[in-house]
Amino acid sequence: MHWSTIIYCGIITYLTRFSMIFILKEDILNDKAKKILSYVPSAIFPAIIFPPIFLDNVGSLDLESNPKILAAILAILVGYISRSIIITIFVGLISYWFLIFVYY
């Protein structure tokens, strides 16, 4: 990784925050545009979540005896019920550790 990459990332991130405040005098995004922007986390985060869970080190699909899938399902269930970010992460991690160190 180069510092230049980090700096460009910093600039583009800053611009996503600054541009609208700088350009707009009042909120002109319509409800539809806002609704679509509100889907951004749902549209991007799974692209980060899925591949490391379902693919093995060489990039082929690994659906059998995959502790990450089980741990992720447990985390989703607990997250759904508890709505707590910390509890979700901890349950996922602890069940993953249980599976790799004890069960398998």
Tokens 């180069």 correspond to what residue? 2
**Which tokens is 12 given?**
């583009």
| One residue of 64, 65, 70, 93 binding other proteins per CB under 8 A | 93
Count residues binding other proteins (CB under 8 A): 71
What are the DSSP calls for 7-63, one per residue?
HHHHHHHHHHHHHHHHH-SS----HHHHHHHTTHHHHHHHHHHHHHHHB-TTS-B--
Separation between Cα atoms, residue 71 and residue 26, nearest integer Å:
45
Instruction: Examine residue 103 and tell whether it contacts other proteins (CB under 8 A).
Output: no
Residues 31-60 within binding reach of other proteins (CB under 8 A) = 32, 34-55, 59-60
| One residue of 57, 64, 86, 102 binding other proteins per CB under 8 A | 86
Instruction: Examine residue 102 and tell whether it contacts other proteins (CB under 8 A).
Output: no
87 contacts 78 by C-beta, under 8 angstroms? yes
Instruction: Examine residue 5 and tell whether it contacts other proteins (CB under 8 A).
Output: yes
- Specify the residue, 45 or 103, whose C-beta has the smaller distance to other proteins: 45
CB of 30 to other proteins, least distance (A): 10
CB of 81 to other proteins, least distance (A): 10
